[in-house]
Amino acid sequence: MDLSREDKLAQLERLLQSQALHGSESLRAFLRFVVLRSVENQDGDLKEYTIAVEVFGRNVSYDPRSDSVVRVQAGRLRSKLHEYYATEGKDDKVLIDLPKGHYAPVFSAHAPGSNGAPVVGAAVADSRVAAAGQGADGRGTKLAIAALVALSLVLGVTALMYRSEATRLKASPGATAAESPDGLAASRVWGEFLRSPDPILVVFSNTLFEGTAESGMKLVKPWDSPVPSSGTPAEAERTANPERPGQILTEHYTGIGEVMGIYSLSDLFAKVGRPLRVKRSLLLNWDDLKTSNIVVLGSPAENYLIRNLPQAQDFVFRSVKDDKLANAFGLVNTKVKPGEQPIYLARQEGPSRSQISEDYALISMLRGLEENRRLFILAGVTTFGTQAAAEYVTKPEYIRDLIAHLDTPSSSLPAFYQIVIKVKVNGGVPVQLSYVTHHVLQ
């Protein structure tokens, strides 16, 4: 049957009110946007760039090569649509699909198949029946009927699998993370991140340099430069440092520890079945901080949107004086307790930063800009400390150590805290991590 505009909008409303999309505002906004554009015959606007800017709040400099938010969310939306039509929407009369590789929705009449499964390919199958049925001896018709029976069986099995998986996830959303003792321990540390249906946003340090690797580079932005009140750090830095004739700005570098940290995080999230997306800090914006659970790799020296967060912190990174009264960058304890140091500095055995032999790292579990969001900052005084911080919250033996120090009589971890760890470095590789102290935050 021909579907009217009203049919399509009514089905959109059913999907938006469904349990499958309950609690996922980003997917609801995505679906609403593409369906409304389609029913208004504006399918030509359904491009990755347009969706990123108008649905997910990316700015006009959005680059799909470095930010895969639309592709990731499209995959999640397809899964949710399959889940919906295999369960609560199995008797709906209208099917809305988002074919892989496209962002324009496809609408079709929903003919129930085996076990109530939507026969998504019915229109194609019908055309094959008509073509095959032209055979004079009727063999084409028999083959087409057999094909339809096979198609119905396949779709029925698929729907059963979808229904089984959806029921399992709905009954125990944390089952994957809790299947083993190590998984259970990880879920205690990463609880809010694992419970949210949205992908975890991992942000790695990235800053602007003036010059090139061949001609030499220096930081454009000093450590104490002001924090932008809007936009992204990249926009603010370019505004504050307009290009002079011949000036070359380079923004493609990050630390070794950040790279290795992403590997550690990816390995953990893959094991517990949680999606993530990666973004460099120059593209981070205030909307991200409000709408996502975020893991930041690196200190505020290079991730300056996290310098002036509203939640008070006991440990902060600052410019300090070392024991020779030279300028240094270190970790400052603003509320020193008995047995604690006021300042933690990296130890360097020679003129090169590759000769770091000892570092300190700070692990901060903080409140996001929205009450139900979390910000996990994994930062070393140097990049080697950042790598160690990521290992400390992803490797089972270190997670157990973290829990042992943070555990309370009620067997629950504090909601917000900061942990300092000491890192022995050999040949640019963290070889020994040890707990130093922690503070519970209000």
The DSSP secondary-structure symbol of 219 reads E
Of the candidates 359, 361, 336, the one whose C-alpha atom is nearest the C-alpha of residue 346 is: 359
d(CA 90, CA 114): 10
pLDDT band at 314 (very low <50, low <70, confident <90, very high): very high
d(CA 31, CA 118): 19
Domain containing 333: what range? Answer: 181-206+254-440
356: three-class secondary structure by DSSP: strand
Q: Based on the domain organization, do 186 and 55 belong to the same domain?
A: no
Is 314 among the domain residues? yes
Beta bridge partners of 295: 202, 376
Q: Based on the domain organization, do 367 and 312 belong to the same domain?
A: yes
Q: Based on the domain organization, do 85 and 195 belong to the same domain?
A: no
Q: Based on the domain organization, do 411 and 293 belong to the same domain?
A: yes
What confidence tens digit (pLDDT) does each residue in 152-210 have?
Answer: 443 444 444 434 444 443 444 444 444 566 777 888 899 889 888 888 999 999 877 87
Q: Based on the domain organization, do 103 and 197 belong to the same domain?
A: no
d(CA 11, CA 8): 5
435: three-class secondary structure by DSSP: strand
Is 409 among the domain residues? yes
Other beta carbons within 10 Å of 61: 13
**Of 325 and 378, more confident:** 378
d(CA 225, CA 227): 7
110 pLDDT more than 80:
no
d(CA 141, CA 147): 10
Inter-residue contact 357 to 403 (CB < 8 Å): no
Counted domains in the chain: 2
Q: Based on the domain organization, do 408 and 262 belong to the same domain?
A: yes
Q: Whole-number mean pLDDT of the chain?
A: 79
199: three-class secondary structure by DSSP: coil
Is 363 among the domain residues? yes
Of the candidates 223, 239, 220, 241, the one whose C-alpha atom is nearest the C-alpha of residue 231 is: 239
Mean pLDDT is highest, among 35-49, 210-224, 233-247, for 35-49
What average pLDDT does the segment 127-153 reach? Answer: 41
Q: Based on the domain organization, do 315 and 429 belong to the same domain?
A: yes
pLDDT of residue 41: 84
Is 221 among the domain residues? no
Q: Based on the domain organization, do 165 and 185 belong to the same domain?
A: no
With a pLDDT cut of 70, the percent of the chain lying above it is 76
Is 357 among the domain residues? yes
d(CA 257, CA 263): 10
294 pLDDT more than 70:
yes
Is 227 among the domain residues? no
Inter-residue contact 92 to 110 (CB < 8 Å): yes
Q: Based on the domain organization, do 156 and 63 belong to the same domain?
A: yes
Q: Based on the domain organization, do 313 and 164 belong to the same domain?
A: no
Q: Based on the domain organization, do 110 and 196 belong to the same domain?
A: no
Q: 47-51, 130-134, 216-220: lowest mean pLDDT where?
A: 130-134
Is 333 among the domain residues? yes
- Helices 383-392 and 396-406, interaxial angle, to 10°? 80
pLDDT of residue 238: 56
What average pLDDT does the segment 394-404 reach? Answer: 93
Q: Based on the domain organization, do 148 and 258 belong to the same domain?
A: no
pLDDT band at 24 (very low <50, low <70, confident <90, very high): confident
pLDDT of residue 198: 83
Is 211 among the domain residues? no
> Residue 413: which CATH number?
3.30.379.10
